[in-house]
Chains A and B, each alone.
Chain A
């Protein structure tokens, strides 16, 4: 699952994330990070057998966890299945199917928006 983790300034110097990873044996991939004196925001992808437990732990330590439902969407009406976006995606979230339809995988998308600005038809939208 993908989620935004928000830290308040008073907990930024605690090692909550590494404790979580060790305790719950989860894969923890940081997709984006933004840390300021007013606190921090991390976009992360978490997977493993104890995802729910790990989220419960992080929340108990003061991190607010906001799961992301859908990140990227292709507007079928606008898309002409050209494929200009495919080679621009850094995480291979966009692929070409056997019948040359362009498929966008919102599970893999990290929301970099390279495809949205480069799409000739402006057919890809990122919503959170």
Chain B
């Protein structure tokens, strides 16, 4: 049994024994838990990954004449300034207001550039008051000219996380990176055995006021993070899914771009790669045992991101040892696995923090209040008005075409019914293709006579029990104007078009106005 005070005295005299979490795993394997608890004082952890829920409070100082900042842009990225006159919060995932740049330079890139000491364009709009008469500012700033620049991240260091894969026929672009079709790859994001909250899974040492390594400087744990949850199933003492989170803060003026980077997930948006390392005091054998956890003992779930709903299906379980081989098996097929967070940087962070402590430059703190280890669940957002399902849409009786039909007959069906899309079905009513009035015009131009030769055979479809919002996104993504509704036997039940959806939205708006 040791106390944090005793450990700090050893740090002061240069006698503290510090290991990284990876080194601790090996030490305990070789020497046992008892010796580890006796000999090791601190275990350092590290992680370097995409943490979207990050940002910074900035204070610009007052201009003359002064301004009450209403709209604030830094290198064309908006910072929220609905605070006192010259305070703003820049969020990591904020897009650039120039649509040509958009995702390529957002809040996270701005944060990195500030830390790099670059000159940043500041543009401000205001409405003007008696005390703050100025209405606009255009100037440049640098980090050292700001009064305060405090990184304040509501949710970092997820204890564990889902491993992403994609069962669908198309490539998906997600916050977990690019996911290839037909389980083409898996993407995981955890430092595994080096990860802070996997080394203190019951939050016995981490809490409000814990001093940490944050992006190359000293930071602090403010409290548990948003969406902190304690109910997840545990295996070998650690949760197998998301679970615990931390809210962190640190002085940006002390940070280094070696340990914080702006990034863009393709077709998803900007995110910030945050480097965090937490020291864990080895106060007793239980803590020693938990910091010795290995990649193999940390179980995680492979989840299908092809299902765009809140609850995504779990495909299988795996662990970080298996993932780090670069291959895992899904449905009997070997699939390439790659990390989204940098294990190399995580090691650098754990090493750096170890060096700080060993050299007597960093002392441990007693948390004011520990991160709660029970009683926290994550509530979903319930939408009062349930989302409209495809089957609830009013639709006209469905008109069908058959592959053997002649072009002129199909043209007549389109004109007679005043429609632009026709699903093509076989004798049993199963979907075989789709044909539009454009396809018919094209067929006539090229002298084709059989429907089978001009219809689209790879059809984007809608299911009866899907929310209309998902179908609207599909129409948008594939740049189509309508799609057939099919049941689980692939039989055509109807058609849904972009016009149906805009009519629905129009109707919802009207209803709301009546209610008001």
Residue B50 CB within 8 A of the other chain: yes
Chain B hits for A83, CB < 8 A = 338-340, 342-343
Interface size class of A (residues with CB under 8 A): 10 to 19
A87 to B180, CA, bound (A): 9
Q: Which of A85, A88, A117, A121 is in CB contact (< 8 Å) with B261?
A: A121
The 8 A CB mask of B203-222 against A (1 = contact, 0 = none) is 00000000000000000000
When the two chains form their complex, are residues B265 and A120 in contact, meaning their CB atoms are under 8 A apart? yes
Task: Point out the residue from A84, A88, A114, A118 that lies within 8 Å of B339, measured CB to CB.
Answer: A84
* B200: interface (CB < 8 Å): no
Contact across chains for B261 and A84 when beta carbons are under 8 A apart: no
Q: Mark B336-367, 1 if CB is under 8 A from A, else 0.
A: 11111111110100000000000000000000
Residue pair A86, B343 in contact (C-beta under 8 Å): no
Q: Check if B263 sits within 8 Å of A117, measured CB to CB.
A: no
Stretch from A18-26, A65-73, A95-103 forming part of the interface with B: A95-103
Residue of chain A at shortest CB distance from B258: A80
Assess whether B237 is interfacial by the CB under 8 Å rule.
no
**Is A30 located at the chain interface by the 8 A CB criterion?**
no
Q: Which of A87, A118, A120 contacts B337 (CB 8 A)?
A: A87
The answer to whether B342 touches A82, judged by C-beta atoms less than 8 angstroms apart, is yes
Asked if A122 lies at the interface with its beta carbon under 8 angstroms from chain B, I say: yes
Docked CA distance A88–B271 (Å): 20
Evaluate contact between B178 and A88: CB separation under 8 angstroms.
yes
With A83-B339, A84-B187 as given contacts, are A122 and B344 in contact (CB-CB < 8 Å)?
no
Interface contact B345-A80, CB-CB below 8 Å: yes
A80-B342, A118-B178 are contacts. A86–B326 as well, Cβ < 8 Å? Answer: yes
Q: Which residues from chain A contact B336 at a C-beta distance below 8 Å?
A: 86-87
**Given A120-B50, A120-B273, are A88 and B180 neighbors across the interface (CB < 8 Å)?**
yes
> Distance (Å) between the CB of B201 and the closest chain A CB?
24
Among residues 87 to 118 in chain A, which have CB atoms less than 8 Å away from a CB atom of chain B? 87-88, 96, 99-101, 114, 117-118
Nearest B residue to A94 by beta-carbon distance? B338
User: Quick check: A122 and B264 within 8 Å, CB to CB?
Assistant: yes
Question: Are the C-beta atoms of B263 and A121 separated by less than 8 Å?
Answer: yes
CA distance A87 to B343 in the complex (A): 16
Q: Is A81 an interface residue (CB 8 A)?
A: yes
Bitwise, B30-72 to A at CB < 8 A (1) or not (0) is: 0000000000000000001110000000000000000000000
A80 contact set on B, CB distance < 8 A: 48, 261, 273, 342, 344-345
Closest to A96 in B: B326
Q: Beyond A86-B336, A88-B185, is A120–B177 a contact (Cβ under 8 Å)?
A: yes
Which residues from 57 to 76 on chain A have a C-beta closer than 8 Å to any C-beta of chain B? none
Contact B264 A82 (CB under 8 A): no
Residues of B within 8 A of A87 (CB): 180, 185-187, 326, 335-338
Residues of B within 8 A of A117 (CB): 266
Q: How far is the CB of B200 from chain A (nearest CB, A)?
A: 23
Residues of B within 8 A of A88 (CB): 178, 180, 185, 338
A84 to B264, CA, bound (A): 12
Cα–Cα, bound, A84→B174 (Å):
12
Assembled-state Cα–Cα distance A81/B50 (Å): 13
Contacts of A114 in B (CB 8 A): 178
Residue contacts A-B, CB under 8 angstroms, 17 given: A82-B273, A82-B340, A82-B345, A84-B177, A84-B187, A85-B338, A87-B337, A87-B338, A88-B185, A100-B343, A117-B266, A118-B266, A120-B263, A120-B264, A120-B271, A121-B273, A122-B264
* A interface with B by C-beta (< 8 Å): 80-88, 96, 99-101, 114, 117-118, 120-122
B residues neighboring A (CB under 8 Å)? 48-50, 177-178, 180, 185-187, 261, 263-266, 271, 273, 326, 335-345, 347
Q: What 4 A-B pairs come out closest when comparing CB atoms?
A: A120-B263, A87-B336, A87-B338, A87-B185
Can you add 4 more A-B contacts, CB < 8 Å, to A100-B347, A118-B266, A121-B273? A82-B49, A84-B177, A86-B326, A120-B50
